[in-house]
Amino acid sequence: MPPKYEPIAEVISSSITGVVAQCLMSSDKDGMPDTSKPRFGSFLKIRTASNLDVLSVVHNVITGSPDAMHQPWALGLSREQLREEQPHIFSLLRTEVHAVVVGYVENGAVYQHLPPIPPEVHDFVYPASVEEIRQVTEGFDFLRLIATVTTVPQDELSAASIREAHKAHGDDYAFLVEAGQALSHIFKNDFDRLVTILRKIRPSTTARQ
């Protein structure tokens, strides 16, 4: 049976092209607030009530205060000292995940294009399964969708998502070769950017992730 995942976040804003989700807070072994953050470039799945699961790629993770009244400030204390002296500080922070939509799952089939409807606010967010990542990254159409993101360096996002997909494809070197070929078409008019991405996905780089 496939592994069962627990939700890691909840959608607080959504559109056809992207979502913003708030990471769910849990407790660590000492009972302190703890937030699990997804990796940059990793693949997520948003489960909806419409028999349609949206697949997305993380392009930013932001932690800060949820309101203007409780802004964090530098205290000069280590994390251990903060836990002892001001443990409430951690509960005043929230972590947001920003992700670009790259496909969806409907009736068991994975589609590599934008969904017909966006997720709803308060839908739960899960890590995408290995098989879902494999299917949504076949053909590399997802690279054209993440190329629309302008809030982070595009070459970094492309490289990170390929490294994550490479792991789902069993670290198959042929996948990297095909990714390089797909990138050469997408960035055929930007040779410097193409070379930068290819350097970031070479085997020696992916092995360290």
Q: Look at strands 109-111 and 94-106 and give their pairing.
A: antiparallel
Chain centroid to Cα 57, Å, comes to 4
Best CA proximity match to 48, nearest among 96, 14, 97: 14
Give the per-residue pLDDT at 2: 44
Coil, helix or strand at residue 171? coil
Give the per-residue pLDDT at 206: 60
- Each residue's pLDDT tens digit, 178-207: 999 999 999 999 999 899 999 999 876 565
Best CA proximity match to 123, nearest among 1, 24, 3, 27: 24
Share of the chain above pLDDT 70, in %: 88
How high does pLDDT run on average in the chain? 88
Contact 112, 138 (CB under 8 A): yes
- Each residue's pLDDT tens digit, 65-105: 877 676 776 777 777 777 777 777 777 788 999 999 999 99
Q: What is the DSSP string of 71-136?
A: --------HHHHHHH-THHHHT-EEEEEEEEEEEEETTEEESS--SSPPPTT-EEEEPPHHHHHHH
Contact 95, 35 (CB under 8 A): yes
